[in-house]
Amino acid sequence: MIGTSLPEYIFIRICIIGLSLITPVSVTYCILHLISFIFFRTGVLKPSFLPDAPCPVEIWFAAETCFYLLFFLPYSSYLQRPAVHPTLGSRAERKELFEKCHETIPNPERYIRGWFKGAPLEEIGRDQVIIFFGWAFLGKDTFDDEESEELEEYVSGLESLIGRPFHPGNGKAKSIRLTLDPVPLQYRSLLWYCTVGVVDLSIFVRLPLSGFRFYRTSLLSTLHHLPLRPQALLTRHHSPARHVTYWHRPHTSKTHRPIVFLHGIGIGLHPYIPLLASINASVKGLAGDDGQPTDGQIGILAVEILPISSRLTHSALSRQQFVQEMTLILEKHEYLKDAGFVLVSHSYGTILSTHLIHSPIRSHIRGILLVDPVTFLLHMPDVAFNFTARVPKSANHHQLMYFAGRDVGVAHTLARRFFWAENVLWREEVGGNEGIMTTVSLGGKDIIVDAECVGRYLAGLDGSSEGEGDGSKNNKGEGDGNTNEVNGWKNKEWTGKGLEILWSENCDHAQVLERERKRRPLVRAMRRYSRIE
């Protein structure tokens, strides 16, 4: 993640404006030349009416124009199709989920204002709160009498929590409803996808140097990605799954378990190569930093999640599809044996980790590392607000909004394939009580999640940072006392047992991965969980 300095702001704004202008310039040039050609043939204009660009530039402009008009416009309309919501269970199960959510809301007013895009409480009408809960717990915006009665019960519960009733009627404010709202995608040019292709090619060069082998899906499936991946056709290894491709480093150690890695939103595995290499470097027949000798290399299975990797491809898999395909892959490489494996994930990858934790695969997971997780407290507005509704101000805000939130694949994934009730992970589902050692890495300056709130929740403390009431947050702990008793969870020594937190005070989202010194505690946790005792 980029920083917040003025030079970085100028740089990111220039990049975004430049990329955004490519298509308008291309279409305008082609239209003017078409008009010029038509009128020149009729003798109305002279040949010199419009100067010609160099031939390669004209070809590029024509390609950009055709791509936009013939592919993107109909494709963007196709992506606006309604989401297919999963069944959320019985009314009793929904009521239990509602109560669990409300038990973990530290600031009820900030909670509802965040979902209503920071609107003042006076502008939030009771009818709109009913519509919001209808999306959150029923996945729709029309209700029968029994459902209306259920939603009235939820609204009354929230009013009791806030300590005041909502104004009757609709009110001025409208809520965020991720899977019912329009998909907020923004066009990407062919030049951008070519750039992604170059980065993708660098992955195919760098990962094999660390002993990884690429496993592709079928030939037909490989040809359905943009940018194309011709280098993927050179591999002799095939994924047993229909959609999921991955990189695998064979596991040969008898004293350590293999690792499964799930990446976050961005440009694929490229930012994570140093982290994966850090694990590999410590196990080449030498003792790791835990003092334990190794007798081979730790296997690593790094999964590619293409729909959130800045490319045009298939839609994000449903929870059931992902678990089924991961089961095939893990069985192929014998990860579902008694020794089990370590599950490591970052950002959106923690959502997919949650699906595995909630599946039969859970019984084979021996340790969990969640870096910048977005899966805890998903009923809070921070993730949805920061991705879809926040007006960007700083450089990192603009980077997140344009290169992540508005990317075609990411926008569709969040707006049509992201169902919070099946993605949320609760504190009691991980850690010592459940028998799975778990470490959660949080950054104090994270602009996506309220890291302070999540940390206090995981530490079992009541209350949280108060935030600003608009879906953003204040991670300084103001108003909380800031005593050693309150904030001691940030500085606890890591032991590798139970549920533990690694707190990086000055790190934004993903910045803990950028430098070796910051990555060191993560690598230590992975090695510790990997060791067979």
- What pLDDT score was predicted for residue 264? 95
Q: Which of 15, 49, 79 is the last residue of a domain?
A: 79
Q: Are residues 277 and 145 in the same domain?
A: no
CA angle 114, 426, 97 (to 5 degrees): 70
Q: How confident is the model at residue 432 (pLDDT cuts 50, 70, 90)?
A: low
User: CA quadruple 104, 107, 110, 112: dihedral positive or negative?
Assistant: positive
Residue 217 CA: distances (Å) to CA of 54, 194, 238, 247, 301: 40, 22, 6, 12, 15
- What pLDDT score was predicted for residue 338? 80
Q: Are residues 123 and 259 in the same domain?
A: no
Q: Say yes or no to pLDDT of 83 above 80.
A: yes
Q: Is 394 domain-assigned?
A: yes
- Tally the domains of the chain: 3
Alpha-carbon gap, residue 507 to 511, rounded angstroms:
5
Q: Which one-letter DSSP state was computed for residue 214? A: E
Q: What percent of the chain has pLDDT over 70?
A: 89
Q: Are residues 281 and 313 in the same domain?
A: yes
Q: Which amino acid is at 175?
A: S
In the block, residue with structure tokens 């809520």: 175
Q: Are residues 101 and 55 in the same domain?
A: no
Q: Are residues 148 and 40 in the same domain?
A: no
Q: Which of 420, 419, 489 has its CA nearest to residue 453?
A: 489
Least confident of 32-41, 155-164, 299-308: 32-41
Q: Is 481 domain-assigned?
A: no
Q: Which of 35, 50, 79 is the last residue of a domain?
A: 79
Q: Are residues 208 and 268 in the same domain?
A: yes
Q: Using omega within 30 degrees of 0 as the cis cutoff, is the peptide bond preceding 227 cis? A: yes
Q: Are residues 53 and 118 in the same domain?
A: no
Q: Are residues 209 and 268 in the same domain?
A: yes
Q: Which residues contact 353 (CB under 8 A, 6 or more apart)?
A: 262, 343, 345, 368, 370, 375, 425
Residue 152 belongs to domain spanning: 91-162
Q: Rounded mean pLDDT of 429-453?
A: 88
- What pLDDT score was predicted for residue 233? 86
Q: Are residues 146 and 67 in the same domain?
A: no
Q: Is 184 domain-assigned?
A: no
Q: Where are the alpha helices (DSSP H) in 49-125?
A: 55-66, 73-79, 91-103, 108-115
Question: What is the tens place of the pLDDT at every residue in 255-292?
Answer: 899 999 999 999 999 999 999 988 866 544 444 445 45
* pTM metric for this prediction: 0.90
Q: Where are the alpha helices (DSSP H) in 171-318?
A: 190-209, 219-222, 273-281
Q: Is 185 domain-assigned?
A: no
Q: Under DSSP, is residue 216 helix (H, G, I), strand (E, B) or coil?
A: strand
Q: Rounded mean pLDDT of 427-453?
A: 88
Q: How confident is the model at residue 464 (pLDDT cuts 50, 70, 90)?
A: very low
- What pLDDT score was predicted for residue 532? 87
The beta strand positions in 158-313, using DSSP E, are 213-216, 237-238, 245-249, 259-262, 300-304
- What pLDDT score was predicted for residue 446? 94
Q: Is 328 domain-assigned?
A: yes
Q: Are residues 31 and 117 in the same domain?
A: no
* DSSP secondary structure letters along 324-374: HHHHHHHHHTT-SSTT-EEEEEETTHHHHHHHHHTSGGGGGEEEEEEES-S
Q: How confident is the model at residue 104 (pLDDT cuts 50, 70, 90)?
A: very high
- What pLDDT score was predicted for residue 466? 45
- What pLDDT score was predicted for residue 48? 52
Q: How confident is the model at residue 47 (pLDDT cuts 50, 70, 90)?
A: low
Q: Rounded mean pLDDT of 60-68?
A: 94
Q: Which of 36, 55, 79 is the last residue of a domain?
A: 79
Distance of CA 107 to the CA centre of its chain: 25
Q: Are residues 417 and 452 in the same domain?
A: yes
Q: Who wins on pLDDT, 7 or 286? A: 7
- What pLDDT score was predicted for residue 41? 58
* Cβ atoms 304, 245 nearer than 8 A: yes
Q: Are residues 408 and 512 in the same domain?
A: yes
CA angle 85, 91, 94 (to 5 degrees): 65
Q: Which of 413, 305, 422, 417 has its CA nearest to residue 354?
A: 422
* Cβ atoms 443, 511 nearer than 8 A: yes
Question: What is the tens place of the pLDDT at every residue in 233-252?
Answer: 889 999 999 999 999 999 99
Q: What is the CATH number of the domain that holds 306?
A: 3.40.50.1820
Separate counts of helices (H) and strands (E) for the chain = 19, 9
Q: Is 43 domain-assigned?
A: yes
Q: Is 378 domain-assigned?
A: yes
Q: How confident is the model at residue 397 (pLDDT cuts 50, 70, 90)?
A: very high
Least confident of 37-46, 66-75, 150-159: 37-46
Q: Say yes or no to pLDDT of 223 above 90.
A: no
Q: Rounded mean pLDDT of 529-533?
A: 88
Q: Is 354 domain-assigned?
A: yes
Q: Which one-letter DSSP state was computed for residue 403? A: I
